[in-house]
Amino acid sequence: MDSIAIVTETKTARLSKATVSISGMTCASCVQAIEKALIALPSVQSGSVAVNLLIGSATLIASPELCPESLIVKTVENAGYDATGFKYVDITPLPAKHSLSKLASVFRVSLTISGMFCSSCSSKVETLLKSLPGVRQQTIKVALATGDAQFEYEATQDQTSVMSNMTTNSIADKIRGLGFEADHIKTEKIASDDQTVTSVMDQDPSGADVLATTRLDISGMTCASCVSAIESSLMGLQGIHQVQVNLLAKSGVIVHDPAIIGVRDLISAVEDTGFDVSLSPDDAVTSRNALQDKIKKEEWMLRKRLLLSLVFAIPMFIVAMVMMMMLPASNPVRKGLAIYIIPGLRIQDVIMFVLATPVQFWLAQPFYIKAYRALRYTRTANMETLVALGTSVAYFASLGSIIAAMVAQKQDHDMSMGHGGGSGVDFFETAVFLVTFINLGKWLEAMAKGKTAETITKLMDLQPETATLVKADETLEEIAASLIQVGDILLVNAGGRIPCDGLLWKGNTMVDEAMITGESLPVQKMERKSKVISASINLTSVIQVKATKVGKDTTLSRIIQLVQDAQASPKAPIEALGDKIS
């Protein structure tokens, strides 16, 4: 059941907020119908109505005297939906200067979508996300090649607790409604109340993120006081902007300035409070593994579907094309296939019916499911609709023609010597060949998409997993690359990859930067003068590097992000027009 929060306010002296639960909303059309009905109510303020399909919430501002509870409930029910759980809460009119971003909590959602094979698929997902009230349309990214999607949405203070709990299931259900699968869904609260809301697109003009977000796994917490102790300890440190500790998930999310305080400092601070802590698994590694598994799974599924289609298509081609069209009429095989089993029904018809039926009701089933969901949830026809329509017409028209011929021949009794009589016209081979060719095209497209995604995974593989830290006492310690902090001195042996962007602190060397510049010749680097790039190769001597950019701020990480963003970049107007026409 979807829940809808409705806010009510008016220009009269007393303004109130009403909350009601509404069930039955399934698409953007439902949202528009409810908004249109509520806006027409007396005393409802212009522009105050907002219906949220994602969690089933709406807000409006009106007067309880002029717009009572019974009127709102009746209006929703008259629109075709069920309304329950209504309540009014007095509110104070908000000054015009208050903006939505200061009243709402902002969430960032990242997920992986499987089953997208063309631009039409990604467009359907984008359209769905854009139809959800509260979603910041400029933040929507859907990458066809990798299947990654990301967007931000706003939830009012009353919706925040519900949003964080319902987002995963709601998003997954709505995407499944389009015929795709959604997994690895992650919701992150990035701002709330009077905090400044920073979009995923907002960055420092220099190209570096102003703040970094670090996720920690914390064990040993037993109560709310443990959470408070950790949050207080971290908020007392310089460079910390926001701390959120989740007792149930045993995790914490810290927004901090990496130039002031690093990951190791955060871990040390939590450990000092008496808890065991570790850095959460790297999202990039997790997404990379998920991407590789997803691509292999899709390719395997489509290859299997193609091979199964060929199992029926090849015999169908031999019977329908070779034996009945290429062989001469006097050929005994062709004559044998033309023998009538009963009036109006030939052996050829039975064989083709047996070959076409599994294809129509088994291998073509995914096309019917996606066509149905597209018509039901988005009110649009797509490629699956055309395939389902074409195969259905060919199959059922052929079946109807044969049945009609059998009925007619039984009435006329004109069969002679087992070879006489008329037969129906069938096109069973059309349905089989159409499904086979479409499956072939989808498999080839999945292969091409896999090659594109392979470029991203190869870039990810260039990142070193560990680094050698030079401590203040000149001792060495091997640490995970994710634990490098700005200002660390790192030792890089000859032949090793540089783990982060930085300044050559000690030693002179030659560096291979071909992975960035494409230049095959090594570049000379001088002590205290030259900058080095993450993942480039130190060729000649042992050096020490002072870290200046770490994590997602490194050159390689930004290249990877640019490649991923390019896959999800908005379409040009002419592209959108072409997709709409097609």
CB 262 within 8 A of CB 284: no
Supply angle C-alpha 368, 369, 373, rounded to 5.
115
Q: Which fold has domain 102-282?
A: Alpha-Beta Plaits (3.30.70)
CB 536 within 8 A of CB 513: yes
Any idea which residue has 């064990």 for tokens? 219
pLDDT at 86: 67
pLDDT at 508: 92
Q: What single string gives the DSSP state of each residue in 48-85? A: --EEETTTTEEE--B-TTTS-HHHHHHHHHHTT-EEEE
Helix, strand, coil percentages for the chain (3-state, nearest 5): 45, 20, 35
- Nearest-angstrom CA–CA distance, 566 and 141: 10
Would you say the CATH fold of 102-282 matches that of 15-98? Answer: yes
pLDDT at 309: 95
Domains of the chain by residue range: 15-98, 102-282, 287-458, 466-562
**DSSP label at residue 93:** P
Amino acid at 332: P
- Nearest-angstrom CA–CA distance, 207 and 243: 25
Q: Give the three-state DSSP class for 86.
A: strand
Q: Which fold has domain 15-98?
A: Alpha-Beta Plaits (3.30.70)
Q: Give the end-to-end CA distance of the chain in Å, rounded to a whole number.
A: 36
Q: Is CATH 3.90.650.10 what the domain over 466-562 is classified as, yes or no? A: no
> Sign of torsion, CA 567 568 571 575?
positive
- Nearest-angstrom CA–CA distance, 34 and 78: 10
Q: Quote the radius of gyration of the chain (alpha carbons, Å).
A: 32
- Nearest-angstrom CA–CA distance, 429 and 426: 8
Tokens encoding 520 = 């095959």
Any idea which residue has 């907020």 for tokens? 17
> Sign of torsion, CA 553 263 211 490?
negative
- Nearest-angstrom CA–CA distance, 534 and 482: 13
- Nearest-angstrom CA–CA distance, 371 and 226: 52
pLDDT at 210: 59
The neighbouring-strand residues paired with 537 are 497, 512
Report residues of the chain scoring pLDDT below 50. Answer: 1-13, 92-103, 158-166, 193-209, 414-420
